[in-house]
Structure formats: structure tokens, C-alpha cells
């Protein structure tokens, strides 16, 4: 249930980042320190001719540099480790550095005179470094380590275990043996170390909190931009909210449609038992009522707050405090976002304000999804309406057409010339109306059923061949020479059979429709630059150059097509374009008015599936 | 003179089919829904049935076909199983469904799209009847 325990929490990850960036900083400082020790010894011993322990100091400087090289090499190795191995590795590396640095400082201090060493001001630097590196209760112990090093350099010579050292006669060696001075110095240093440790950890803590919050906000922003399913997005958002406040878990509950109750929509870090105890009705939960009314609520201790009705349930999950803020949509409450901590008094008013940022992200996600759903529903309703309407229109118009044809054929008695002419006009008007209805139906169908149908690998040539066949009698009637040519290769594309049928039957039927008697329509299927290419060319009326760009718009018809009296709706090409785009292809047109038009449809070739895609990746 | 049964809920289509086929010399009887159609099949034993695919309910035409063509020897329409069926459709040009005469799914012999072209109808009726006699 509690996935959060299996992975790194944001806090741990942040500490790891701090440790490795600290290591990198320390390495830079050590390069300078090692070089400076050698340089300073040279200046003191050679230029100023002072009696310093020259060789041990050179060795110490060289030792620092060599050891630093080793550490930086090790740290580089860390980048190759897995996340789980990284934690242990960085910690071991840190402890190693702490110990060796401490020895380095102790040796340097001893060689330069111990309590009278001019290097004593280096101690606070190490105190700060140790405070940064060692977390929790050990911070203060670690801060005192450098002071202990100083104490050793005083005690060991005093006890006669090591010979006393001094860098300059200006520092009176008698001070080294003065207990009052030594004691006062050590106590002062210890006090300074403790205060520094306190201030540094205070700063570090607040910095860490800010860094984590910023990271979680960035992450949740990224999630909002890249997550499609609302439930996934809400899960991520509340996870980020819990991490940002370094809490145990979070719960997002949304108002039901009746506005009387709350249902859990997303949860993280809390047991099912705890989630189940939540009352659904607002009337039973004064705390939720308060939040829904627009207030942020902080419960410092669940056991002492009267608004918490079942503190024992909270104790099951170790929850001791919580903060809850309203999730507010455009002016109306949507629900409650709560974050839960195992600490008593785990949240401040600043935390509540911060949580509101997440609540507003949740609100945006929810509202966007709801708007999307409404739009989809509206579109579906409209499409269904158009389909229903066109179906209902087809029956009477088809009936009228059928009756009219029997009349025109003289099946209900001979007609005179005038009657035939009038009925012929009537037939043409009805044919145009039927074409419009068919195109509308086809358009609404292509916007629903077809675009959602699963695509498969389809052999292109049989489809085009069948369509050419279908139109051959129509072409013959109009004395149009309809030719078909295809390359021998096997070409398959990723599409739906019906979609391909619609694309090419629209193009071929247009070509025949707008080509005068005795003209030519040519259909070819081939391959070009890894794409299947189907061209439909005609010697028809063509399209005026300045109208070519409008060709794909719903209901657009070229001016010469409208003048020609040939019935049409201007929907065919818009359907073609929509379907070709849907199959990731492109369609181009070239035309010369009065000479002819050529349409070129290019569709990506479907590849055979890889035998072993996994190996391919490796 | 061949006897043709037209089953369609649209009286205008019935009238047009009647005018067309009677002019071509056939006897036409009519039925306005599936139930009436099946009754007339039994009563009149027509030589050919013209059937609208979508009547009041979208599956009525299919159901009539399936009853007439039932392979069950005990079927009450067993005697009429071989009557050719011509189906009137209005959906060929508009929906993704494509049918052709299919032994298993839709056992009809021929399709004519609405609006009906009289010449086309007469041609198909004649060829179905010729096939039946051969």
C-alpha cells in the first residue's frame, strides 16, 4: 500500500545531492589548501628563513593533494552507480573524507605550533564543512571534532608525547604551556563551533525546504503538461504535495454532484483503513465543511482537536497533524486537499499557503478535463444529430428520386416534351440534394466511426483497383478513358480499408465528374522516397490557381465547378484531406484551369514488424 | 408471367417498383412489413422477392432473409428457400458497411441501391429469374 516507503523521498534525494555537491566543493578547496601549504612552507623556510618543520609540511601538502586526487576519482565513479548503491557509496566517501581531513588539520595545526598556530582560523571552516555534511543529532558532535584536533595538539606536546613546534619566534612558545590560555582558547573555540553549527543547520534546513518545494512544484508543473489521464495527473500532484511538505501522505477528495459529500479521488501514503474511515457526508465532518467554505485548516495535534472525530484511526497510520486547503475551481469549491504528517505540529500557516499552489493545480486539471468531456459530448451529440437528420432525409429524397425516374422512363404514361424537360430539371435538383446528404453523412461518419476504427496494414493496390473497377461503367457512359497503372511491388500502408476507399473513390469520382466527354482519367499507384504514392489525374475543367488553397475547406467549391452546373457539395475533398492526415499522409494538388488536375496522395509505407524489437534497441 | 413480391415500408418505393416491373411484364404483389411479407411468401409463393434492408427496425430486412434462408429442414419456410432475393439498400454509399451476397452472413442474391434506377432494376430481376430457371 505505502509505495512511498520503498523509494527515495524527496528529502533523502535532496540530502544526497547536497552531499555530492559538498564533496565537489571540498575537493576544490583541498586543491587550493594543498598547494597553499607547500607554497607557504617554501616562503617561510626559503624567503624568510624561518625554522619551520619543512619536510613534514611538504609531505602534508603533497599528502593532501594525492588524497584529494583519489577522492575526486572516486566521486567520478559515483555517477556510474545505481540510485540504491549511490546512497551507501556517498556516505562511505563522506566518512572517509571527514576522517582524513581531520587528520590533515590536526597534523597541520601541530606542525605550525598547535594552540599558537597561525592556522587556527582554519578551524571554523572545518566546523562549517562538518556541520553541512553530518545530519541530525550528530551535527554538533561533528562540529566539535576540529576543536578536539586543536586540543590534541595542545595536550600531546604538554604531556611530552610529541616535541613542541613553532613557526615563528614572534609566537611565544610559553603560551603553549599556559593552561589558562589553552583552556580559554579551547572553550572559546568549542562555543564558536556549537554556535556556527546551530546557525548553519538552521540555514541549511530552510534552504533545503525551499529547494524541495521548488523541485516538487517544477515536477508537478511538468506532470500537468505531460499527463493525459486526469487520475494519473492528480496522483502525481498530491504525491508532489506530500513530498513538498515532507509529510507522510496526502488525500484529495472531491465534492459529489449533489454537493453534500466528498469522495476520495486520489490518495498517497495513507492506508486503506485510514481512507475508509473518512465520513462521506459533509454534515458529519465540521472540518471538511470549514475547508469547503474556503478556509485553510491546520490541525496541530489530532488527539487534541475537537474537529477530528476519530483520532484513533489517525493513530493507526501514525498521523499526528494535518493541513487541509480548499480546491477551488472558477469561483466554486471542488473539493479538499489534505496533507498528513507523523509529527505533532507538523505544519505552519506558510505550509498551508504553499499547499494552495498544489490545490490550484489540481483544480485546473479537474476543470480542464471536465471542459474536455463536455466538448467531446457536445461534438458527439452534434455528429449524431447530423447523422440522424441525413438518414431521415435520405429516405424521402430517395423515394422521390425513384418515383421521378419511373415517370421519366414513361412507366406511368407518355410525357410530352415540356413535361419531360420540367421533370428532368426536377431530377437534377433532387440528385444534387441527395449528393449533399450523402456527403454530409459521409463527413459525419468520417468524424466519428472511421477515425476511431483500428488501423491495420492494408495492401494498397487491390483497394485502388476495386475502386477503378467500380467507376469503369460510369466512365464508359461519359466516354472517358479511365486507365490504371500500378508498379509490381507489394505496397501496404497503415490505414483502414474504408478510409482508403473513401479517399480514392472521392478523388476518382471527382475526376470523372469534372472531365468533359472524350477526356482522360489516369490512376497510378507507385512508390517514392519510402512512401506509397497514388495519383489521380484528369483532363477536366481544372481549378483556378487562386482558389487552390481553399480547396480543402468544408463546402468550398471552385468557381468554375459551380458555374459548370455539375452537382457537388464541396465536402469530398475536405473528407479526403481529413482522412489522409489521419493516416499520417499528405495530399497535394496541381492544376491548370481548362487543362486538367492531378491529385497526389502520399502515405507512409507500413513496415513489417521487427522480428525482435528488444534486440534492436540493445 | 413471373410473380414478384416487394416488401418495403415505403409506399412510394412500392409504387415505383410496381410501375417499373409491371411495365416490364411482371406481376407484382406488395407487403408493407416483414411479418406481412412472410405471410405473403407462404400464401402466394412468388418467383422472386424484393426486400428493403431497413424497414421500421434496422434489422427487419435481415431477419426476413435469415428466416427464408434458414438451413433448418424443419423450417416453415423450407419450401421457399430457393426463391431468389433482391435486396434494396440505401447504405452502400454512406456507411462503412460493405456487403455482397454472402452465403453465411446475408444469404441474398443481388443488391440494388436506392434511389432505384428502373432499367437497372429490370435488368437485375430478369437475370435473377433467368438464373433460377437455368
Res A524: pLDDT: 94
- Rounded to a whole number, what is the distance in Å from the CA of B18 to chain A's nearest CA? 10
The predicted model scores a pTM of: 0.52
Interval A320-346 mean pLDDT: 90
Q: Given an 8 Å threshold on Cβ–Cβ distance, is A402 in contact with B115? A: yes
Q: Tell me what pLDDT residue A610 has.
A: 38
Residue A156, pLDDT score: 87
Q: Confidence band (pLDDT; 50, 70, 90) for A535?
A: very high
Measured in whole angstroms, the distance separating CA A180 from the mean position of its chain's CA atoms is 64
The predicted model gives A209-217 an average pLDDT of: 87
Nearest chain A residue to B16 by CA: give it. Answer: A403
- List the grid coordinates of A285: 465532518
**Is B96 close to A453, i.e. CB distance below 8 A?**
yes
pLDDT tens readout for residues A48-63:
887 778 888 899 899 9
Confidence of residue A101 (pLDDT cuts 50, 70, 90): confident
Residue A405: list chain B partners with CB under 8 A.
Answer: 16, 115-118
Distance of CA A392 to the CA centre of its chain: 47
Q: Which residues of A touch B16 (CB under 8 A)?
A: 399, 402-403, 405-406
* Cβ within 8 Å, pair B118-A409: yes
Residue to mutate among B14, B16, B92, with most A CBs inside 10 A, is B16
Give the model's pLDDT for residue A116. Answer: 84
Give the per-residue pLDDT at A520: 94
- The Cα of A497 is separated from the nearest Cα of chain B by a number of Å equal to 9
Sheet with A321-328: strands ordered across: A262-268, A249-255, A333-341, A321-328, A297-299
Omega of the bond leading into A32 within 30 degrees of 0 (cis): no
Q: Which residue of A388, A390, A406 is the best one to mutate when testing the B interface, meaning the one whose CB has the most B CBs within 10 A?
A: A406
How would you classify residue A542: left for phi > 0, otherwise alpha for psi between -120 and 50, otherwise beta?
Answer: left
The arithmetic mean of pLDDT across residues B61-78, rounded, is 84
Domains of chain B: 3-133 (3.40.50.2300)
Q: Among A402, A441, A453, select the one facing B114 at the smallest CB separation.
A: A402
Predicted local confidence at residue A539, as pLDDT: 94
pLDDT tens, position by position, A570-617: 778 888 888 898 888 999 999 998 899 999 999 998 865 433 333 333
CA distance A352 to chain B (A): 56
Give the nearest partner residue to B96 out of A394, A401, A449, using CB atoms: A449
Nearest CB partner across the interface for B96, out of A403, A412, A450: A450
Nearest to residue B8, comparing CAs of B131, B90, B124, B103?
Answer: B90
Taking residues B82-100, report their average pLDDT.
64
Under DSSP, the state recorded for A447 is I
d(CA A442, CA A510): 15
- CA-based torsion, A281, A285, A286, A290: positive or negative: negative
DSSP string, A24-90: HHHHHHHHHHHHHHHHHHHIIIIIS-----HHHHHHHHHHHHHHHHHHHHHHHHHTTS-HHHHHHHH
What is the pLDDT of chain A when averaged over all its residues?
84
Q: Among B19, B26, B53, B100, pick the best mutation site for testing chain A contact (most A Cβ within 10 A).
A: B19
Q: Where are the domains of chain A?
A: 3-218, 226-367, 453-604
Do the chains contact at A398 and B114, CB–CB below 8 Å? yes
* Residues B88, B91: Cα–Cα separation, whole Å: 9
Residue A44 contacts residue A249 (beta carbons within 8 Å): no
Burial of A618 (0-12, 13-18, 19+ CB in 10 A): exposed
Considering the segment(s) A226-367 as one domain, its CATH architecture is 2-Layer Sandwich (3.30)
Position A417 scores a pLDDT of 92
pLDDT greater than 70 at residue B59: no
Write the ipTM: 0.81
Which pLDDT does position B105 carry in this prediction?
55
What is the pLDDT at residue A160?
80
**Are residues B20 and A412, on separate chains, in Cβ contact within 8 Å?**
no
Instruction: Give A384→chain B minimum CA distance, Å.
Output: 14
Which of A131-135, A146-150, A422-426 shows the lowest per-residue confidence on average (mean pLDDT)? A131-135
Across the interface, of A398, A411, A450, the residue whose CB is closest to B23 is: A411
Chain A residues with beta carbon closer than 8 angstroms to that of B23: 411
**Which member of A401, A438, A453 has the closest CB to residue B94?**
A438
Q: Do B12 and A400 touch (CB under 8 A)?
A: yes
Q: What is the pLDDT of residue A602?
A: 94
User: Residue A44 — very low, low, confident or very high, per pLDDT cuts 50/70/90?
Assistant: confident
pLDDT score for A451: 63
Could you tell me what percent of chain A has a pLDDT over 90? 22
Query: Which CATH class for the A453-604 domain?
Result: alpha beta
pLDDT of residue A617: 38
Distance to chain A for B75, nearest Cα, Å: 33
Contact criterion met (CB below 8 Å) for B116 and A405: yes
pLDDT of residue A306: 80
Q: Do A411 and B20 touch (CB under 8 A)?
A: yes
Among A284, A250, A229, A282, which Cα is nearest to A359's? A250
The 10s digit of each residue's pLDDT in A143-166 is: 899 999 999 988 888 888 888 777
Q: How confident is the model at residue A545 (pLDDT cuts 50, 70, 90)?
A: confident
Cell triple for A406: 419511373
Interface A–B counts its CB contacts (< 8 A) at 61
Amino acid at each position: 500500500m505505502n509505495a512511498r516507503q520503498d523509494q527515495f523521498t524527496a528529502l533523502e534525494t535532496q540530502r544526497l545531492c547536497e552531499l555530492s555537491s559538498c564533496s565537489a566543493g571540498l575537493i576544490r578547496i583541498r586543491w587550493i589548501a594543498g598547494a597553499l601549504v607547500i607554497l607557504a612552507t617554501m616562503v617561510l623556510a626559503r624567503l624568510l628563513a624561518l625554522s619551520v618543520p619543512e619536510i613534514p609540511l611538504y609531505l602534508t601538502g603533497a599528502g593532501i593533494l594525492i588524497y584529494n586526487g583519489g577522492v575526486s576519482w572516486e566521486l567520478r565513479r559515483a555517477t556510474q552507480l545505481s540510485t540504491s548503491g549511490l546512497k551507501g557509496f556517498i556516505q562511505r566517501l563522506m566518512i572517509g573524507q571527514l576522517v582524513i581531513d581531520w587528520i590533515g588539520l590536526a597534523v597541520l595545526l601541530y606542525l605550525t605550533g598547535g594552540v599558537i598556530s597561525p592556522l587556527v582560523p582554519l578551524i571554523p571552516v572545518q566546523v562549517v564543512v562538518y556541520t553541512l555534511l553530518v545530519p541530525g543529532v550528530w551535527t554538533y558532535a561533528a562540529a566539535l571534532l576540529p576543536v578536539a584536533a586543536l586540543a590534541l595538539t595542545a595536550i600531546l606536546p604538554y604531556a611530552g608525547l610529541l616535541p613542541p613546534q613553532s613557526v615563528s619566534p614572534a609566537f611565544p612558545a610559553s603560551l603553549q604551556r599556559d593552561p589558562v590560555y589553552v583552556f580559554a582558547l579551547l572553550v572559546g573555540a568549542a562555543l564558536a563551533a556549537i554556535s556556527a553549527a546551530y546557525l548553519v543547520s538552521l540555514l541549511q534546513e530552510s534552504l533545503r525546504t525551499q529547494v524541495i518545494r521548488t523541485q516538487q512544484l517544477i515536477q508537478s508543473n511538468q506532470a500537468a503538461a505531460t499527463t493525459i489521464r486526469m487520475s494519473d495527473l492528480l496522483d502525481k500532484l498530491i504525491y508532489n504535495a506530500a513530498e513538498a511538505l515532507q509529510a507522510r501522505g496526502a488525500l484529495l477528495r472531491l465534492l459529489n454532484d449533489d454537493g453534500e459529500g466528498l469522495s476520495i479521488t486520489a490518495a498517497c501514503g495513507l492506508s486503506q483503513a485510514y481512507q475508509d474511515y473518512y465520513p462521506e457526508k459533509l454534515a458529519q465532518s465540521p472540518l471538511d465543511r470549514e475547508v469547503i467554505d474556503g478556509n485553510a485548516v491546520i490541525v496541530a495535534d489530532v488527539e487534541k482537536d475537537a474537529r477530528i472525530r476519530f483520532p484513533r484511526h489517525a493513530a493507526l497510520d501514525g498521523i499526528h497533524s494535518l493541513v487541509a486547503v480548499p480546491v477551488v475551481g472558477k469561483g466554486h469549491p471542488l473539493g479538499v486537499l489534505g496533507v498528513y504528517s507523523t509529527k505533532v505540529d507538523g505544519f505552519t500557516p506558510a505550509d498551508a499557503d504553499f499547499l494552495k499552489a498544489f490545490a490550484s493545480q489540481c483544480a485546473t486539471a479537474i476543470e480542464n478535463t471536465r471542459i474536455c468531456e463536455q466538448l467531446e459530448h457536445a461534438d458527439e451529440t452534434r455528429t449524431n444529430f447530423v447523422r440522424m437528420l441525413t438518414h431521415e432525409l435520405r429516405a424521402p429524397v430517395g423515394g422521390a428520386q425513384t418515383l421521378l425516374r419511373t415517370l421519366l422512363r414513361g412507366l406511368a404514361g407518355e410525357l410530352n416534351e415540356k413535361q419531360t424537360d420540367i421533370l428532368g430539371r426536377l431530377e437534377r435538383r433532387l440528385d444534387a440534394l441527395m449528393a449533399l446528404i450523402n456527403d454530409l453523412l459521409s463527413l459525419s461518419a468520417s468524424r466519428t466511426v472511421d477515425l476511431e476504427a483500428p488501423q491495420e496494414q492494408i495492401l494498397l493496390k487491390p483497394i485502388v483497383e476495386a475502386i477503378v473497377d467500380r467507376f469503369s461503367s460510369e466512365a464508359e457512359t461519359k466516354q472517358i478513358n479511365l486507365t490504371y497503372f500500378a508498379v509490381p511491388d507489394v505496397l501496404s500502408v497503415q490505414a483502414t480499408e474504408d478510409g482508403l476507399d473513401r479517399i480514392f473513390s472521392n478523388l476518382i469520382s471527382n475526376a470523372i465528374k469534372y472531365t468533359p466527354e472524350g477526356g482522360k482519367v489516369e490512376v497510378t499507384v507507385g512508390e517514392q522516397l519510402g512512401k506509397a504514392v497514388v495519383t489521380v489525374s484528369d483532363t477536366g475543367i481544372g481549378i483556378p490557381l487562386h482558389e487552390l488553397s481553399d480547396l480543402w475547406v468544408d463546402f468550398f467549391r471552385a468557381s468554375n465547378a459551380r458555374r459548370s452546373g455539375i452537382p457537388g457539395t464541396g465536402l469530398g475533398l475536405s473528407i479526403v484531406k481529413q482522412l489522409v492526415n489521419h493516416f499520417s499522409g499528405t495530399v497535394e494538388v496541381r492544376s491548370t484551369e481548362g487543362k486538367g488536375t492531378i491529385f497526389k496522395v502520399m502515405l507512409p509505407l507500413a513496415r513489417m514488424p521487427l522480428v525482435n524489437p528488444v534486440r534492436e534497441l540493445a | 408471367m413471373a410473380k414478384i413480391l416487394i416488401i418495403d415500408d415505403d409506399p412510394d418505393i412500392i409504387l415505383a417498383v410496381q410501375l417499373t416491373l409491371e411495365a416490364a411484364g411482371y406481376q407484382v404483389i406488395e407487403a408493407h412489413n416483414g411479418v406481412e411479407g412472410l405471410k405473403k411468401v407462404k400464401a402466394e409463393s412468388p418467383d422472386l422477392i424484393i426486400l428493403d434492408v431497413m424497414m421500421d427496425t434496422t434489422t427487419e430486412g435481415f431477419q426476413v432473409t435469415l428466416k427464408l434462408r434458414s438451413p433448418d429442414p424443419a423450417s416453415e419456410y423450407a419450401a421457399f428457400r430457393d426463391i431468389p432475393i433482391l435486396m434494396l439498400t440505401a447504405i452502400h454509399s454512406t456507411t462503412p458497411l460493405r456487403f455482397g451476397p454472402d452465403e453465411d452472413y446475408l444469404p441474398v442474391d443481388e443488391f440494388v441501391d436506392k434511389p432505384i434506377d428502373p432499367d437497372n432494376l429490370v435488368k437485375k430481376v430478369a437475370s435473377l429469374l433467368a438464373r433460377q430457371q437455368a
